[in-house]
Structure 1
Amino acid sequence: MKRLVVIPLVAVLLGGGVASAAPAAPAAPAAAGSVTCPTGWGSLPKSATSTNSQPLTNVRAGAHSCFDRLVLDVPGTSAAHPVGYHVQYVDTLYQDGSGRPIAVRGGAVLEIYADAPSYSPATGTPTYPGRAGQPPPGVDLTGYRTFVEAKFASSFEGRTQLGLGVRARLPFQVFQLDDRLVIDVAHSWTATP
């Protein structure tokens, strides 16, 4: 009888030990409403200066749970050697140099200037094939929640100008990573997606 009592107890202890040594199951993904989005970016103009003038090589976009992102690839730049920029909401996008208005769809338009020409300053050779009044090559905003339309405006006197049509005047941030300038526009003014 003692033996019968001991065997089930040993089996329970061993079973518990095996279960606790087993790897934990992956956590279930967070529910959509449980994501906390950054707040406090605001919608006022943002800018930074720099003496660094590296050429723009690419423009691309990405969709995230809290914001849509536009990235300007500028190799040779970093937080220590940033790209100068000026980003602000405008009523109308006017092409730098000519003053010609460029239509950009959306409830609001962000004008983006980056101190990164779309050509080599040394040779004048194009480094990015943007054309005035056209969407930036390779940027397809179909299905984006906040971005509506992007337009290449100009590359004039060492600066590239883009227009970014968004759903409404929403908070945005601008920051520098290695080899790129990043513009994030929030999906809403609240802290949930």
Structure 2
Amino acid sequence: MKKLSAWLTAIIIALGLGLLAPGPASATTSYCGLVWSSLAKSNQAMSAPSVTNIRSGQHTCFDRLVIDIKGKAAGYNVRYVSKVVQDGSGLPIKLRGGAFLQVTAHAPSYDSVTGKSTYAPANRSEVTNVSKYKTFRQVAWAGSFEGHTALGLGVRARLPFKVYTLAGPGSGSKLVIDVAHQW
């Protein structure tokens, strides 16, 4: 009985001191073995090569948006916003979804020498069809202005995401945005 009483006293003291209390909430979480966060991600480098295509894909644990670049991809800014705005004008873009990612590639969608378009979506409101995706709700064109190409990505909810660049094929590269299906 004395041992039980000593243990209970030790546990009560530990709780009082916060030694057994849960730690602070983390900005990152693990889902499907992935440790991502919902905080803004950016790389301020600029890319002279231009955007040539925008596409999407579904995976077991996340939905993926890919921006193809003719050359080496460098900079980007991807963050959750209360509303996505058009590049240059600042006008809001209507998007489906419970949360919105403003995706900016630091690469134009036009040739910087000739000014000729290198990518123009067939439908600015539906850049790529994401109608049956688990997380994505809509990908909308927000414009290409002063060397930046912007998109609005409507998602089901504010979920963790990851942004990175990949080389290839050939001398091209890709800016990749993966958004998890859940926390």
TM-score by shorter chain over 0.5 = yes
How far residue 52 of structure 1 moved from its aligned partner, in angstroms, is 2.7
Counterpart selection for 2:174 from 176, 180, 185: 180
2:14 corresponds in structure 1 to none
Of 36-45 and 56-65, more deviation after overlay is shown by 36-45
Cα distance between partner residues in 2 of 1:131 and 1:95: 17
Of 166-175 and 49-58, more deviation after overlay is shown by 49-58
> In the alignment, is the contact (CA less than 8 A) between 2:130 and 2:136 conserved in 1?
yes
Any idea what the Cα deviations from partners look like across 1:100-140, whole Å, max 9, x if unmatched?
1111110000000001111000100000013795222xx11
Gaps of 5+ in 2: 1-30, 168-172
Gaps of 5+ in 1: 1-35
* 1:70 partner letter: L
Counterpart selection for 1:66 from 61, 73, 78: 61
Cα distance between partner residues in 2 of 1:84 and 1:126: 20
Note the aligned Cα RMSD (angstroms): 1.5
Cα distance between partner residues in 1 of 2:164 and 2:151: 16
Cα distance between partner residues in 2 of 1:140 and 1:146: 13
1:54 corresponds in structure 2 to 49
Are 2:40 and 1:45 equivalent residues in the alignment? yes
* 2:77 partner letter: H
Greater fraction of residues in strand = 2
* 2:175 partner letter: L
Correspondence 1:107-126 to 2 at 5 A:
107-126=98-117
> In the alignment, is the contact (CA less than 8 A) between 2:52 and 2:70 conserved in 1?
yes
> In the alignment, is the contact (CA less than 8 A) between 1:153 and 1:162 conserved in 2?
yes
* TM-score under structure 2 length normalisation: 0.77
Cα distance between partner residues in 2 of 1:132 and 1:152: 8
1:147 corresponds in structure 2 to 136
Cα distance between partner residues in 1 of 2:58 and 2:160: 15
2:113 is paired with a residue whose SS is: coil
